[in-house]
Amino acid sequence: MSDPAIRIRGLVKRFEGVAAVDGVDLEVRAGECFGILGPNGAGKTTTIEILEGLKQPTAGAVELFGLPWRGHERELRSRIGIALQETELYDKLSVRETVALFRSFYPRRLEVDDALAQVDLIEKKAAWVEKLSGGQKQRLAIACALVCDPELFFLDEPTTGLDPAARRSLWEIIGKLRARGRTIVLTTHYMEEAEKLCDRIAILQKGKVIALGTPRELIARLGGDEIIEVGSDPAVAAEVFAALPGVAACLPDAGGFRLSVRGIHETLPRVIDALRQNGARPSRLATRTATLDDVFVKLTGTSIGAEEAKAAEAAQAVAQSAGARVKSARRDKGEATR
């Protein structure tokens, strides 16, 4: 078996005495897409920044390709690519000029057009960056990270704030990287994205790994392959549903509960009977297959949907702040020329 692309042992990072990362042990296999998930403040970004060589750990060891960062910075930086949630690029450069600039930083590199072809931006290579859509700018940022032909690629929430079409376009790009045998480390707030793209997933909470496995393995830990979403008027206590035969877990949800169940054809009638016996009528009743979001709720106590909303709000705030700065700069420039 080949050496892991990443090996982490006892990783700790403290800020003013608070442990953002608290004893993380992980290995990422060469050629896999590895997801790191968790609620806001779980330590995902800090862990990634240490792996990328941007932060120093308080304690513990990190190796990429069997090498520590200390004494191997130049070699490791030439072998990794990094795409952030938001990358500030020069508005007045063309797409081709932007990739050429990043290409000049590396000893091993792809041709500019090859990098642009991988992200479907060949037709936009003469366009200015400021003329690109949000999805196109994110694809350009990925092209800038790809131009060194990295063996290991870090994607930190690359699709946050993008529309569904742009998000799926990036999924295709990531799929092509996997097909070429590249190792990918992905953080995301979108469970569908993680379930579709990742070979294995680590879920972090309060700086610790609380679950590790393939998406299928994590979902199996719920104890049931199917979910009944139920709400009632008046409300029925969780204990009533949890005691029903076939219910493996009763998870709180907005306006009711998510029931992880076995044998849904037998369990659903029992749920309806329980409502009737408690003098309640269903205000919501739906069935579906269990997903990673259900795992996330069980382990962290919060829905990833809430995390998505927070991430979207943060992205919108950043965009509004950037827009305000641009307007202010233009206003100041106008006043200065009067």
Sheet strands (E) in 237-318:
247-253, 256-261, 281-289
* pLDDT for res 65: 95
Report the distance separating Cα 46 and Cα 202, nearest Å. 15
Q: Is 259 helix (H, G, I), strand (E, B) or coil?
A: strand
Contacts by 179-182 with C-beta closer than 8 Å and gap 24+? 181/31, 182/31, 182/150, 182/151, 182/152, 182/153
Tokens of 21: 């990362």
Share of the chain above pLDDT 90, in %: 64
Residues 9 and 53 sit within 8 Å (Cβ to Cβ) = no
Please give the Cα distance from 139 to 173 (Å, whole number). 9
Question: Which pLDDT score is estimated for 66?
Answer: 94
Sequential DSSP letters for 23-73: EEEEEE-TT-EEEEE-STTSSHHHHHHHHTTSS--SEEEEEETTEESTT-H
Q: What are phi and psi of 89, to 5 degrees?
A: -115, 160
- pTM here? 0.81
Q: pLDDT tens digits for 96-154?
A: 999 999 999 998 889 999 999 989 899 999 999 999 988 899 899 999 999 999 999 99
Distance CA 192, CA 205 (A): 20
| Cα angle for residues 86, 326, 144 (degrees, 5° grid) | 30
For 255-295, how does the pLDDT look when each residue is reduced to its tens digit (9 = 90+)? 899 999 999 999 999 999 999 999 999 999 999 999 998 89
